[in-house]
């Protein structure tokens, strides 16, 4: 949906309690409601609090009690996975020429090749703590809110039919999410959006709630690519009731001067990408087209991975579809691939999620990594577009290899590439957690060499690690399981 539609939906949803249920979606809202003037908690609400303080008539609700983000306990442990007892099905060997027993054998361990494409996902810092303000400053903020005039142009676009993490939250979590999204929709530094909280904003629990919901929002909205790397959302708060039964919390986002330009470039790139995607078939067919086109378009940013900094545009969908911080087109790291894949699927009506955790060739040798889950024709699958990008020609030093011209040859072989580009495609959670590729053999056209490719792979959701970062634990704990 476009931003305007999301604002209207958010305003309606904020007025009703929508409970998270493992058995079905939240109950639909009907229309927005104003803050009731007769409630006991509202007797200290000033006239300004019952008037719209932001565009589109959004009216925050006064809380009536302790709130929680989900009504069900968050799963903080992913399913236990071990090495499979039986060998996986053997992939067919591919041969570009006749199988010559005299061909010289060349063993290529892809564990070493893919070692450069993990560790690109760095653990970020938490959001800054909120700032308490006095009554005079709170009054000034609310005057700014009333005077604020939105630009009227929606440059932040996401036509998803639903947003997975939003749907997992309670009414309280959804309100907090919607307020932050509205603040992010116009990052001007003075676009304040009001949220009433029954929890003291100075308490650790409130900050934890804000961080968890913030990450739910980011994981639903790849178009917030600039916010993903800057984490520039802020909040200020003040007690606005006589007995401090609730607080006014004012969310805003630092000014982002390049916001409109970059969003427009991103929108144009996504639209151009999708122009030749045929969505008339099954969702599985649509997803495969997007997957294959994306991994042929994008290339891995080894420089960003080596720098290990999360404040780099290469971590975003913008880098995958437009360019990285150095102006190199379609160059990104794993979360860039994953965010772009998710966004493109969303525009085609497919529910998709980004998964943040660790990946590598074994549980002892892992680095930060991101991949996807997609709901295709009613069934969840795990997909790692980064590892499916068999960019052997882009590997640093590849041109210096004595076998380089054979690498060029094999990347032109459709059967071989079909195997190499889908070994991490549409897997179950158990399968992607511990994956052993059966050897893939390629015979060179001149009959001189027989290349054998081998690869092991593990993926661990961040919540598997007891010492991991709690917002990711929360978000990954909400993820579905691909059976």
What count of Cα atoms within 13 Å lies in the side-chain half-sphere of residue 31? 1
Give the model's pLDDT for residue 39.
28
Residue 102 CB coordination number (10 Å) = 7
Summarize pLDDT for 214-260 with one digit per residue, the tens.
999 999 999 999 999 999 999 999 997 766 688 999 999 999 999 99
Quick one: pLDDT band at residue 67, thresholds 50, 70, 90? confident
Quick one: pLDDT band at residue 391, thresholds 50, 70, 90? confident
Please say whether the beta carbons of 215 and 149 come within 8 A. no
Joined together, the tokens standing for residue 365 give: 């040798």
Quick one: pLDDT band at residue 349, thresholds 50, 70, 90? very high
Q: Is 83 exposed, middle or buried (0-12, 13-18, 19+ CB in 10 A)?
A: exposed
Say if residue 336's pLDDT is above 90.
yes
Joined together, the tokens standing for residue 136 give: 């005079």
Helix (H, G, I), strand (E, B) or coil at 101: coil
Give the model's pLDDT for residue 296.
96
Q: Give the whole-angstrom CA distance, residue 459 versus residue 361.
A: 9
Quick one: pLDDT band at residue 48, thresholds 50, 70, 90? very low
> Among the listed ranges 117-126, 142-151, 416-425, which one has the minimum average pLDDT value?
117-126
Count Cβ neighbours within 10 Å for each residue of 264-292 and write b for 16 or more, e otherwise. Answer: eebbebbeebbeeeeeeeebeebbbbbbb
Say if residue 212's pLDDT is above 90.
yes
Q: Give the whole-angstrom CA distance, residue 86 versus residue 436.
A: 11
Q: Give the whole-angstrom CA distance, residue 102 versus residue 125.
A: 56
CA atoms 97, 101, 102, 105: torsion sign:
positive
Q: Are β-strands 449-461 and 104-109 bridged in parallel, bridged antiparallel, or unpaired?
A: parallel
Residue 340 CB coordination number (10 Å) = 31
What are the strands, taking DSSP E only, across 329-448? 331-332, 352-362, 365-376, 379-383, 434-443
Q: Give the whole-angstrom CA distance, residue 33 versus residue 461.
A: 39
Question: For residue 7, what are the β-bridge partners?
Answer: none
> Among the listed ranges 112-121, 354-363, 434-443, which one has the minimum average pLDDT value?
112-121
Q: Per this entry, what is the length of the chain?
A: 483
What are the strands, taking DSSP E only, across 188-328? 193-197, 233-239, 247-253, 299-300
Helix (H, G, I), strand (E, B) or coil at 294: helix
Helix (H, G, I), strand (E, B) or coil at 432: helix
Summarize pLDDT for 178-191 with one digit per residue, the tens.
999 999 999 999 99
Give the model's pLDDT for residue 295.
97
- DSSP H helices, 148-244, are 164-168, 171-185, 204-220, 225-230
Please say whether the beta carbons of 286 and 374 come within 8 A. no
Please say whether the beta carbons of 238 and 132 come within 8 A. yes
Q: Give the whole-angstrom CA distance, residue 4 versus residue 158.
A: 11
Give the model's pLDDT for residue 174.
96
Quick one: pLDDT band at residue 47, thresholds 50, 70, 90? very low
Residue range 56-62: average pLDDT? 58
Looking up tokens 């709630």 gives 209
DSSP label of 422? S
Summarize pLDDT for 120-141 with one digit per residue, the tens.
675 667 899 999 999 999 999 9
Say if residue 53's pLDDT is above 50.
no
Q: How far is CA 231 from CA 217, 227, 239, 256, 482, in A?
A: 12, 5, 25, 12, 30
> Among the listed ranges 56-65, 300-309, 315-324, which one has the minimum average pLDDT value?
56-65
Say if residue 80's pLDDT is above 60.
no
What are the strands, taking DSSP E only, across 315-431? 331-332, 352-362, 365-376, 379-383
Summarize pLDDT for 359-374 with one digit per residue, the tens.
988 888 888 899 999 9
More confident residue, 173 or 114: 173
Of 376, 14, 372, 18, the closest CA to residue 220 belongs to 372
Summarize pLDDT for 458-468 with one digit per residue, the tens.
999 875 555 55
Helix (H, G, I), strand (E, B) or coil at 366: strand
258-261: list long-range contacts, CB under 8 Å, 24+ apart: 258/226, 259/155, 259/187, 259/226, 260/153, 260/155
- CA angle centred on 173, ends 171 and 177, rounded to 5°: 115
What the chain holds in terms of domains, given with CATH numbers, is 3-74+126-253 (no CATH), 104-122+264-477 (3.10.620)
More confident residue, 379 or 24: 379
> Among the listed ranges 26-40, 64-78, 90-104, 188-202, which one has the minimum average pLDDT value?
26-40
Of 184, 177, 192, the closest CA to residue 147 belongs to 192
Range among 18-22, 387-391, 470-474 rated most confident: 387-391
Give the model's pLDDT for residue 206.
95
């Amino acid at each position: 949906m476009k931003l305007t539609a999301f604002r209207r939906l958010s305003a309606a949803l904020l007025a009703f309690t929508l409970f998270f249920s493992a058995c079905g979606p939240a109950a639909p809202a009907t229309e927005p409601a104003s803050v009731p003037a007769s409630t006991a908690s509202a007797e200290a609400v000033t006239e300004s609090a019952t008037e719209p303080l932001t565009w589109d008539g959004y009216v925050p609700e006064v809380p009536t009690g302790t709130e929680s983000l989900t009504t069900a306990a968050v799963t903080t442990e992913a399913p236990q996975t071990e090495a499979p007892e039986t060998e996986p099905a053997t992939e067919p060997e591919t041969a570009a020429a006749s199988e010559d027993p005299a061909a010289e054998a060349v063993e290529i361990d892809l564990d070493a090749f893919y070692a450069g494409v993990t560790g690109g996902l760095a653990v970020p810092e938490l959001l800054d703590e909120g700032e308490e303000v006095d009554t005079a400053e709170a009054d000034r903020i609310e005057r700014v809110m009333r005077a604020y005039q939105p630009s009227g142009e929606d440059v932040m676009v996401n036509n998803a039919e639903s947003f997975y993490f939003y749907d997992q939250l309670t009414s309280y979590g959804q309100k907090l999410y919607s307020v932050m999204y509205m603040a992010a929709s116009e990052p001007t530094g003075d676009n304040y959006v009001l949220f009433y909280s029954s929890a003291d904003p100075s308490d650790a629990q409130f900050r934890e709630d804000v961080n968890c919901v913030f990450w739910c929002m980011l994981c639903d909205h790849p178009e917030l690519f600039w916010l993903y790397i800057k984490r520039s959302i802020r909040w200020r708060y003040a007690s606005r009731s006589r007995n401090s039964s609730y607080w006014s919390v004012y969310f805003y986002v630092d000014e982002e001067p390049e916001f409109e330009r970059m969003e427009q470039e991103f929108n144009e790139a996504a639209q151009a990408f999708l122009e030749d995607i045929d969505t008339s078939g099954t969702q599985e067919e649509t997803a495969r087209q997007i997957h294959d086109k994306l991994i042929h378009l994008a290339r891995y940013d080894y420089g960003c991975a080596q720098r290990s900094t999360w404040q780099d545009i290469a971590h975003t969908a913008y880098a995958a579809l437009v360019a990285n911080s150095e102006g190199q087109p379609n160059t990104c790291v794993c979360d860039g691939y994953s965010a772009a894949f998710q966004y493109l699927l969303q525009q085609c009506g497919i529910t998709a999620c980004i998964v943040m955790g660790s990946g590598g060739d074994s549980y002892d040798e892992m680095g930060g990594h991101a991949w996807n889950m997609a709901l295709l024709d009613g069934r969840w699958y795990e997909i790692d577009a980064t590892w499916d990008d068999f960019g052997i020609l882009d590997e640093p030093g590849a041109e210096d290899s004595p076998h380089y011209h054979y690498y060029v040859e094999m990347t032109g072989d459709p059967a071989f590439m079909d195997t190499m580009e889908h070994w991490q495609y549409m897997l179950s959670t158990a399968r992607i957690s511990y994956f052993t590729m059966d050897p893939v053999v390629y015979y060179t056209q001149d009959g001189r060499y027989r290349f054998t490719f081998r690869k092991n792979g593990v993926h661990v959701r961040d919540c598997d690690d007891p010492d991991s970062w709690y917002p990711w634990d929360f978000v990954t704990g909400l993820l579905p399981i691909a059976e």
